[in-house]
């Protein structure tokens, strides 16, 4: 089988290891002001952007809806994008920005994370971007529909991208206006803007709000969030620019220049024959179809990262998955793996480990070291226990897979045995070896839970047992041994007769020099001391 990178050719930045997180961090404002060009052409340059963008059903539908409105004055005028954290929202906004420019429309970009509410109002910024100055809307109070309409109708076709509105509204609470704050003006402004855009023939407002208040903000902003939701609740919502079944195509389009489907099928079929022989997978046809979509990644790689890790509060789904897989692909470019499984993740790689640990807690650094990566780890002991198969590093593969399955925002943790076999077994080697090695791993592991196949920071019984052993001193062991020996010779049924018993004498002075019959119990073998006693 060919190595995966001969079938799926990575983009140049992946090969060169340009893997900083911001390379995947789409920034609408940077594109708008032209700063993205300085570092990341893929966002600033429309040709490169769309070349590396997988056009999902949701994104296609969004672009067609906006184009229909801007060119023909038909369809929805106000659209709310409401996605999970890292769900492709900003990427969609950048796509609309480039398309609107292509259609000859004017674009206003309002990013709530950029503006200082003490210096800039949202309505004032609209006027500045459209006319180059702020005059008619130079007020801290929402200007009303008439003034907005007088301004906007002169600049159609017009696309307004209003991103991170809640972020701006929360910070505007610090700007005093009489007895209230600027934040109070945000809700009526939004209502006036939506109404104004809806009556214009060729104008579109795209609005973004987080999918839930718990995602980004404290509970005292719940009322503000609900107000904005209520106002925008009359608009069409596009919740999923990226559907779950499309995420693998989005990832592959971004990471790989091209994928040879014919060659990928050969690698997949080779493994599937083995899975059939070992009776590991029941629905082979469905598995093959999924694998062809996710190649060079085995399907569970996408499932675990996007759904399990993606459910963690700090994990940005699309961006986080891209970042981790970019590191993994770069790390495996000198390997011969035919495709990438969870067991191929090298947790000794500092960059990869850091990217994972920051979402689950730094305490897992010591867990990874003790059970997976150190020279005397549980994984290494399990590897070596297989003797002639030690070169497979099966213990390390299993523990790495278990680690990747261990974290989720839900209750379900850890892989089942089938999932372990899919990620760890190797053609021509019986999959029962996985089971055998798993048992060895459990014997030596300190942090795999006693109640399932998942890692925890709580020491398991192995660790507790070892800690107790390590806490026992040599003196305590000697004292206990001495007491056991004394107990034996205190036994009333002892048949020693008239023997006088001397236990662990240090020198001949500890044994009286008389004619009594004696039994001397030595602490250790010492011929010279025996002659001395005699």
CA separation for the pair 347, 351 (Å, rounded): 9
CA separation for the pair 99, 417 (Å, rounded): 48
CATH topology of domain 57-238: Rossmann fold (3.40.50)
Picking from 3-17, 73-87, 258-272, 516-530, which range would have the lowest pLDDT averaged per residue?
73-87
DSSP states along 4-69: HHHHEEE-HHHHTT---GGGG---HHHHHHT-GGGT-HHHHSHHHHHHT----HHHHHHHHHHHHH
> 80 to each of 96, 162, 211, 437, how far by Cα in Å?
13, 10, 11, 52
Q: Give the model's confidence band at 220: pLDDT under 50 very low, under 70 low, under 90 confident, else very high.
A: low
| Furthest CA-CA distance within the chain | 126
* Preceding peptide of 157 cis, ω within 30°: yes
Q: Where are the alpha helices (DSSP H) in 142-294?
A: 145-152, 165-171, 183-199, 222-232, 247-255, 261-277, 284-294
**Across 111-129, average pLDDT:** 94
Contact 172, 183 (CB under 8 A): yes
* Preceding peptide of 296 cis, ω within 30°: yes
**Across 117-144, average pLDDT:** 94
| 3-state DSSP of 255-314 | HEEEECHHHHHHHHHHHHHHHHHCCCCCCHHHHHHHHHHHCCECHHHHHHHHHHHHHCCC
Neighbouring C-alpha atoms within 13 Å toward the C-beta of 220: 3
Which of 380, 395, 301, 390 minimizes the C-alpha distance to 345? 301
Contact 238, 391 (CB under 8 A): no
List the domain boundaries for the chain.
57-238, 246-468, 474-533
Contact 348, 370 (CB under 8 A): no
Residue-level length of the chain: 534
pLDDT tens digits, 253-290: 989 999 999 999 999 999 999 999 999 998 999 999 99
Q: Give the model's confidence band at 38: pLDDT under 50 very low, under 70 low, under 90 confident, else very high.
A: low
List of long-range contacts for 225-234, beta carbons under 8 Å, 24+ apart: 225/166, 227/187, 228/165, 228/166, 228/169, 228/186, 228/187, 228/190, 231/187, 231/190, 231/191, 231/194, 232/78, 232/80, 232/190, 232/194, 232/207, 234/194
What pLDDT, on a 0 to 100 scale, did the predictor assign at position 277? 94
Neighbouring C-alpha atoms within 13 Å toward the C-beta of 61: 14
What pLDDT, on a 0 to 100 scale, did the predictor assign at position 492? 52
Read off the DSSP letter of residue 370: I
> 62 to each of 75, 191, 376, 427, 440, how far by Cα in Å?
11, 22, 54, 45, 53
Chain-centre distance for alpha carbon 189: 38
Is the confidence at residue 225, as pLDDT, over 80? no
Rounded to a whole number of angstroms, the CA Rg of the chain reads 34
Which of 106, 86, 220, 221 minimizes the C-alpha distance to 165? 221
What pLDDT, on a 0 to 100 scale, did the predictor assign at position 141? 92
Is the confidence at residue 211, as pLDDT, over 80? no
What pLDDT, on a 0 to 100 scale, did the predictor assign at position 87? 60
**Across 344-363, average pLDDT:** 95
Picking from 270-284, 368-382, 488-502, which range would have the lowest pLDDT averaged per residue?
488-502
Q: Give the model's confidence band at 466: pLDDT under 50 very low, under 70 low, under 90 confident, else very high.
A: low
Percent of the chain with pLDDT over 70: 90
pLDDT tens digits, 60-75: 999 999 999 999 999 9
Chain-centre distance for alpha carbon 497: 75
CA separation for the pair 198, 75 (Å, rounded): 10
**Across 413-417, average pLDDT:** 92
CA separation for the pair 522, 281 (Å, rounded): 63
Which of 333, 253, 259 minimizes the C-alpha distance to 296? 259
Percent of the chain with pLDDT over 90: 58
Report if pTM > 0.75: no
Task: Give 144: exposed, middle or buried? Use CB within 10 Å, 0-12, 13-18, 19+.
Answer: middle
CA separation for the pair 142, 120 (Å, rounded): 12
What pLDDT, on a 0 to 100 scale, did the predictor assign at position 135? 93
Cβ atoms < 10 Å from Cβ of 471: 8
β-pair type (78-81, 203-208): parallel
């Amino acid at each position: 089988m060919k190595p995966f990178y001969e079938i799926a050719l990575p983009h140049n930045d992946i090969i060169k290891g340009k893997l900083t997180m911001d390379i995947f961090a789409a920034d609408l404002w940077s594109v708008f002001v032209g700063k993205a060009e300085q570092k990341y052409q893929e966002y600033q340059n429309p040709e490169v952007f769309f070349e590396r963008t997988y056009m999902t059903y949701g994104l296609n539908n969004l672009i067609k809806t906006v184009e229909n409105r801007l060119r023909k004055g038909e369809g929805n005028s106000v659209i709310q994008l409401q996605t999970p954290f890292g769900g492709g929202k900003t990427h969609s906004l950048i796509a609309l920005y480039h398309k609107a420019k292509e259609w000859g429309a004017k674009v206003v970009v309002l990013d709530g994370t950029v503006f200082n509410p003490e210096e800039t109002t949202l309505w004032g910024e609209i006027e500045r971007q459209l006319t180059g100055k702020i005059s008619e809307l130079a007020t801290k109070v929402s200007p009303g529909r008439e003034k907005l309409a007088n301004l906007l109708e002169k600049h159609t076709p017009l696309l307004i991208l209003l991103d991170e509105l809640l972020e701006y509204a929360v910070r505007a609470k610090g700007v005093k206006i009489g007895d209230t704050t600027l934040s109070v003006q945000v809700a009526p402004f939004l209502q006036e803007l939506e109404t104004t855009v809806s009556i214009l023939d060729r104008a579109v407002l795209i609005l973004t709000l987080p999918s839930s208040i718990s995602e980004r903000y404290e509970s005292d902003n719940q009322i503000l969030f609900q107000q904005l939701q209520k106002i925008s609740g009359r608009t069409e919502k596009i919740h999923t620019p990226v559907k779950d079944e499309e995420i693998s195509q989005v990832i592959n389009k971004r990471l790989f220049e091209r994928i040879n489907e014919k060659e990928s099928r050969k690698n997949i079929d080779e493994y599937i024959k083995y899975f059939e022989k070992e009776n590991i997978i029941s629905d082979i046809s469905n598995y093959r179809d999924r694998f062809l979509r996710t190649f060079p990644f085995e399907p569970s790689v996408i499932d675990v990262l996007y759904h399990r890790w993606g459910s963690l509060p700090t994990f940005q789904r699309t961006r986080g998955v891209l970042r981790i897989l970019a590191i993994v692909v770069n790390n495996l470019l000198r390997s011969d793996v035919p495709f990438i499984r969870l067991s191929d993740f090298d947790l000794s790689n500092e960059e990869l480990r850091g990217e994972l640990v920051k979402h689950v807690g730094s305490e897992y650094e010591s867990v990874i070291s003790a059970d997976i990566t150190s020279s005397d780890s549980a994984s290494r002991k399990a590897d070596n226990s297989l003797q002639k198969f030690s070169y497979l590093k099966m213990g390390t593969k299993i523990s790495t897979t278990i680690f990747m399955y261990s974290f989720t925002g839900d209750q379900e943790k850890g892989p089942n045995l089938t999932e372990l076999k899919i990620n760890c077994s190797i053609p021509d080697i019986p999959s029962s070896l996985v089971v055998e090695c798993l048992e060895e791993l459990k014997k030596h592991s300190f942090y795999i839970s006693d109640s399932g196949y998942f890692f925890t920071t709580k020491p398991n019984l192995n660790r507790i047992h070892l800690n107790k052993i390590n806490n026992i001193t040599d003196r305590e062991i000697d004292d206990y041994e001495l007491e056991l020996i004394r107990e034996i010779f205190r036994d009333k049924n002892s048949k020693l007769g008239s023997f006088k018993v001397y236990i662990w004498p240090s020198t001949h002075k500890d044994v009286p020099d008389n004619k009594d019959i004696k039994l001397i119990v030595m602490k250790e073998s010492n011929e010279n001391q025996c002659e001395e006693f005699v």
